Structure 1
Amino acid sequence: MASSNYIMVSFFMVVLWSCCCVLSDNTTTTPEKFYQCICNNSDFSEPFPTAFFTPNDDTFNTILNSTAQNLRCLVPSVPKPELIFTPMTEPHVQAAVICAKQLDIQLRVRSGGHDYEGISYISDMGSPFVVVDLSKLRGINVDVEENTAWAQAGATVGEVYYRISEKSKTLGFPAGLCTSLGVGGHITGGAYGSMMRKFGLGVDNVIDARIANANGTILDRKSMGEDLFWAIRRGGGASFGIILSWKMKLVTVPSTVTCFTVAKTLEEGATKILYKWQQVADKIDDGLFMRVIINVVDKKEVKGERTVQTAYNSVFLGSADTLLQIMNESFPELGLTQKDCTEMSWIESILYIAGYPTNTPPEVLLQGKSQFKNYFKAKSDFVRQPIPETGLEGLWKRLLDEDSPLMIWNPYGGMMANISESETPFPHRKGVIFKIQYLTLWSQPDQELATKHVDWIRKLYNYMTSYASMFPREAYVNYRDLDLGMNKNVNSSSSFAQASVWGNKYFKNNFNRLVQIKTKVDPENFFRHEQSIPVLPPTFTRKRKGKRSNH
């Protein structure tokens, strides 16, 4: 009897949810229309609550907040999506594109939720929008014989690292330091990490991709063509289509790597040591990634007083003995000793640089949880000339005026200087000594508090103008910064001029080529957001065609 009741209930559930896929034409809500359209355009047959979440659902905020890194983007005043859709297969993503076009709904696409301004899950463009959350598309296939791996967009870089290390102790992939980054969006911005000076960026080691374009068609490298494949490798996320998966070329890593963190405060000579670091950071052995994390701490000697601390947080692809020899020759000022160095495997170094406690098992990477959730505002700079000691002293004064400032200086040089600026849309190559990430953090969703901290970081950014790269003042697109400019009139003739302001900072001379490719592959500008690549206005496009026909 119990068995027959179960069969009957199951039958009625199937009938019920099948009926949901043939909703009447009187349906008015966006979620219902979208759900019906997804069912009609794919094999989707799951009950609504398993993949569709509306603001009326108890689980909506849990899903929205699940991978969102910047809590500033989740305060009540920020517009929320009408629906979150979590596709389970590639055809579901295709259907999402088709349905958004049919229903004239804006799409936001989220793989890891680390967009600094939250544009993968919020919108400031004044129209209804739906979030396509790729968190259920996280398959990873590692081929050690071919030295490659396919990873779906929703997988985190930590998961990718773990799956590679599962198959081989001497293979790795040069991508992010933060292990909860979603592979899909991370690589569209560049993907730098601790092996960038040896092997370049993640985008420099991608050899194929699968993408759903503006028509909902799934393309690989061969079918999309080399122009579009060039554009999606650091042309910024969600401008050209929805990344479904990347094929990565794996790199050889040594069985032993060495890590160290050495901190120096102002009282311990931090200013002079950091000035010397600028002379060697991009020229030292390319197997050494030695970043500097700068913050404000309490003085050890004087209670209640604060000072600036510079921490040299490093990974070296080799043994401690070799590292010490390199440091003694090139950077003795830091005073690195044997006891500062810890030898470990490459996968253990991933945990180390990500800030996990010692002896944390690598399996933690499979959880995909962010180690960094705060209210914050970030900005970036690229530095091509050493900042003098007087400039550093002025910087210290400003850091000491802020509650929770953070700066991270990432060294360039090595392979980064050997790859052409136009090889991919990532232009920050030869001549860059290091990149700066500026952050200010706060702990409460208070608007006055947020305004105070944002004003401070903007003033700091203005102070650093004379020390940063010029013409243009370069910026890193994965540290999204809407202060640089936004697309206000996305379909107007002025959109190109508006976007050029921030586009030249992110992409330099590559911006114009990105615009031309965007105009070709997505002429209706379906994939758009506050800093998406714009399309050329029709009049401008006709003029360009006319010029070509005259030759």
Structure 2
Amino acid sequence: MTNLSFATIKSMISSLCIIIFFISIVHAYLYTQNECLGEDSLQNCLDVYVRGPTYYRKDFAYKNDLLLERNSRVIHFPVAFVHPIDVFDVQSAIICGKNLNFTVIARSGGHSDESYSIGDRDCTLIVDLRYMNNIIIDTNTQTAKIGPGVTLNTLFYSLSVHDFAFPSGECSTTGVGIILGGGLGYLIRKFGTSSDNLLDAQIVLANGTIVDHVKEYPDLYWALRGAGNAGYGIITSLTLRIYPIQKIVTSMVFTYDFDQTQLVFSVVNKLGNSFHPNLTIQINHGNVDKFEILGFYLGSSNDAKPHVQKLIELTNPKNESYVEGDWYNRLIVNDVGKRNIYKDKTFYIDSSGLSYEGVEYLMGFMKNFTNNFLIRTMLVTGRANEIGRNETAYVHRGLLYLLLIEITLDEVNYETCLKDLEIFSRTFQENYTSYESYQNHIDKELDYWQCRYYGENFGKLVKIKQKYDPNNLFNWNQSIPTYTEISCIS
């Protein structure tokens, strides 16, 4: 067998990426030669009524818009990308789409795992909200009013300047659409989910009506907190509850050998509900040699250590590290430019934790899987579990942790890896986890997704959809439908 140097392999990978990039561009170019039905009429409408830039498939900027999708595994070709500058542009785009029979899709950060932010088929109309990115912070009322084009990085940095924080994810380029589908992160145990802290919103409905204060519509407000990114309208501003935050926080890393996995899960199962609310942890597996617990504590390292002492004593990590800093710099993960071909699966684990047999099955998957993977297990206890299952559309309460599997795909093992992941996931969920999955990591292969994502709230969500979008203008494969025969009430 020929031995290839690291530099040669790196060069080959770079060349392959360049080839794939140009193939995608050529594909996009060739596709633009075929018009969507009614495309000219739509362009005439948008050009007259929308003031922000609009890019059609003949425009070079259209290709740039396509490449903003984080997951390059799925690609569709919208009829156009509209970039509104205000709520009236959004209203005009919706009316043009509605009158000319184009499905309308909103895009915030482009982080949909199935690329639903460019639709689930060709010829949809995309309303890209990136230019609507104002942030108004009121420290007296402890609120922030933000535009739908704001990324987590911008939001977190703006809040940190005032020594405030907001609970959400940690990837810098994620859009605030994450807030509408739950929004989990290292502050969840202290402050709850993102959607728990949505106080109000402005939304444009399918008929073009601008609702300035969604809180005045209790059913719609309820739906937006957990299913707001599932097809009720286009959000044009969000009012958030924000929190004063400690000036010093501590991030921790505890390193283990792979064969300590059973031990660590058993200890977290016992301690996970009793950790101090200022502390949360996440177990990260990225290979079968080592793994880590990442900890985040609101306070100094001296304050943090007593709260992780029992965890350390019972799990015996190989290495420990503690780093102090401000919450923004310790929490945010810079993922700028990290476009990839990947697939995600999520599993909620109930309050008793993952069983010995479940951990064994998970370890077996890691040992046998041939491509790169990252398995993150995050505590979802604390404040998030103090809210009832049906108080909002976010139904996942009373659970211990969320387990997320992300696999990276390549051309060689693409189909095999997807098949192996699917076989594992169905057995794993059937035998070892709760019934539920996390809607912000959408999965088009997930069976009974209506009930796994929304539980007994699904029927109510359908009725609200019927009321505010009866003709299903905002739709894709896993949006809330206007009609269903599925019942999620056992």
TM-score (norm 1): 0.77
The count of corresponding residues between Structure 1 and Structure 2 is 450
Aligned to 2:456: 509
1:339 and 1:387 map into 2 onto residues whose CA distance is 25
Partner of 1:482: 444
1:388-444: CA deviation from partner (whole Å, max 9, x where unpaired): 3343233222212222122110102111221111121111111x11111111102x4
C-alpha distance in 2, partners of 1:160/1:30? Answer: 38
Structure 2: state its 5+ residue gaps: 1-34
Taking a change above 3 Å as real, the CA distance of residues 223 and 322 of structure 1, as seen in their structure-2 partners, is closer
In structure 2, the residue matched to 1:454 is 418
Q: Secondary structure at the match of 1:290?
A: strand
Secondary structure of 2:117's aligned partner: coil
Q: 2:273 aligns with which of 276, 282, 285?
A: 282
Question: Does structure 1 residue 177 correspond to structure 2 residue 170?
Answer: yes
C-alpha change, 1:278 and 1:310, in structure 2 (3 Å) is farther
Separation in 1, partners of 2:273, 2:422: 27
Q: Which residue identity is paired with 2:269?
A: Q
Q: Which residue of the partner structure matches residue 16 of structure 1?
A: none
The reply to whether residue 239 of structure 1 matches residue 249 of structure 2 is no
The equivalent of 1:383 in structure 2 is 349
Corresponding position: 1:520 with 2:488: no
> Is the deviation greater in 79-88 or in 112-121?
79-88
Number of the residue aligned with 2:119: 122
Q: Pairwise CA RMSD of aligned residues?
A: 2.4
Q: CA deviation at 1:338?
A: 11
Q: 1:272 aligns with which of 263, 267, 278?
A: 263
In the alignment, is the contact (CA less than 8 A) between 1:308 and 1:400 conserved in 2? no
The 2-side partners of 1:503 and 1:238 are apart by 11
Offset from partner CA, 1:255-277 (integer Å, 9 cap, x none): 2111111221225x333123212
User: Which SS does the other structure have where 2:111 is aligned?
Assistant: coil
Q: 2:155 aligns with which of 146, 160, 163?
A: 160
- How far residue 40 of structure 1 moved from its aligned partner, in angstroms, is 4.0
1:147 & 1:530 partners in 2: Cα distance? 37
Moved more, 379-388 or 226-235: 379-388
Native 8 Å contact 2:36 2:79 kept in 1: no
Aligned equivalents of 1:504 and 1:339: distance in 2?
41
The answer to whether the 8 Å contact 1:240/1:521 transfers is yes
In 1, the alpha carbon distance for the partners of 2:218 and 2:338 equals: 36
2-structure distance, mates of 1:28, 1:457: 35
SS in 2 for 1:69: coil
- Kindly report which structure 2 residues correspond to 1:390-409, keeping only aligned pairs within 5 A, or say none: 390-402=357-369, 403-409=371-377
Aligned match of 2:30: none
Cα distance change on mapping 1:463 and 1:309 into 2, 3 Å: farther
1:325–1:28 CA distance, 2 compared to 1 (3 A): closer
Q: Distance in 2 between matches of 1:308 and 1:464?
A: 22
Deviation track 1:274-305 (CA, whole Å, cap 9, x = no partner) reads 32122212321121110011121xxxxxxxxx
- Cα displacement (A) at 1:371: 5.9
> 1:207, CA displacement in angstroms?
0.7
Aligned AA (1:378): D
Structure 1 runs not aligned, ≥5 long:
1-26, 297-306, 357-368, 486-500, 541-551
Partner of residue 366, structure 1: none
- State the SS of the aligned residue for 2:329: helix
CA contact (8 A) 1:294 1:308 kept: no
Alignment deviations for residues 125-182 of structure 1 (CA, whole Å, 9 cap, x no partner): xx6312111111111111122211111111101101111122x12x111111112111
Secondary structure of residue in 1 paired with 2:136: strand
Contact 2:180 2:194 in 1 (8 A): no
Higher-Rg member (1/2): 1
| Counterparts in 2 of 1:96 and 1:209: CA distance versus 1, 3 Å | same
